[in-house]
Every structure is written in structure tokens, then in C-alpha cells.
Amino acid sequence: MEGGEKELPADKESLKQYDNELRVANIQSFINKLTGSKQGKKYFSIVLEDLPDKIITKIKSDSTLTIIEETSKEANETTYFFYKAKEQNGLLLVKVLFKQPKLTNSIIVDAVFNNEDDWNTFFAEREKFIEKFNCDYEKP
């Protein structure tokens, strides 16, 4: 975590936002961690059953989501998929999907932003997000 970001409790309002606006249709996912800062919130979710290729298909076919831009980045034996998107209600978000080699389940991070500047910056500087997962203590 950086820049004043801290772990938040998953209160009713956050759970409602996740279920109603962020959860991708037909994906069985559950919030594992919620963080927040003045820029917005990040929902870290574990996806059961589906692997990245199937999840990508479901993200792209979700009718409530308009993907503005997408890209992927390889790092540390992991491919990170980034989707800069808007929900039909105007919610600004970046969905990050990845599955690390040592994990069984895929992870989706829904980064929700309060303004377009922070939304654009997060997407443009996505390598900073990836660096957070390159922990020295996890290396063999």
C-alpha cells in the first residue's frame, strides 16, 4: 500500500457496490481484501473455478461494462491483464486480472476511482501496481 492507502473493513456499502457494480456476471468471486485512499478503493477478489482465459471472455461480454482501453504485461512468470473501464452508471475503474504460478485461483483487483485524473494515472503507471507483487520473500 502507498500514498495513504490503508486496509478497510468490508462494510455493507462496499459489499453492495461490489455485488451490484463490480462483480462480473457469471464469475464466482469473493472479496479477500479492501483498501482505500483519497483516490478511491481497491477490491481484491479471489475467483473460484475459472482461469484467466475464461475470465477475460466473461469480462469482455459483461454488458454493464464499457472497456475503454486494455493491455497486458508479463512480469515474474505472471501475466497481468488491465482493463480501463466504465460501468454503465459512470463508475471509473481499472480491472486487473492475474494468476500467479504458485496460486490455485485467479485474482481480480477492481480499482475504483473518484476522478478521471487518478483513473488515467493508475492505468498509465500500471507497472507500479505490478511491482507491489514482486516480493523478495516469495522468490525461491
Q: Is residue 140 part of a domain?
A: no
Residue-averaged pLDDT of the chain: 89
pLDDT computed for residue 44 by the predictor:
93
Q: Is residue 67 part of a domain?
A: yes
Tell whether the model's pLDDT for residue 135 goes beyond 80. no
Q: Is residue 77 part of a domain?
A: yes
| Beta strands across the sheet bearing 29-37 | 6-7, 29-37, 40-47, 106-113, 92-98, 78-87, 65-75
pLDDT computed for residue 137 by the predictor:
44
Provide the domain limits for residue 60.
6-134
Q: Is residue 62 part of a domain?
A: yes
Query: How many domains would you assign to the chain?
Result: 1
Looking up cell 494468476 gives 99
For 71, counting Cβ atoms within 10 Å of its Cβ (0-12 exposed, 13-18 middle, 19+ buried), the class is exposed
* pLDDT tens figures, 2-54: 567 899 988 899 999 899 889 888 889 999 999 999 889 999 999 987 889 99
In angstroms, rounded to a whole number, what is the distance separating the alpha carbons of residues 58 and 17? 19
User: How far is CA 132 from its chain centroid?
Assistant: 14
Q: Is residue 1 part of a domain?
A: no
- Of 18-22, 92-96, 132-136, where does mean pLDDT reach its minimum? 132-136
Q: What is the CATH number of the domain that holds 77?
A: 3.40.1000
pLDDT computed for residue 131 by the predictor:
87
Residues listed for the chain: 140
Q: Is residue 139 part of a domain?
A: no
- 112 with 92: CB under 8 angstroms? yes
pLDDT computed for residue 47 by the predictor:
93
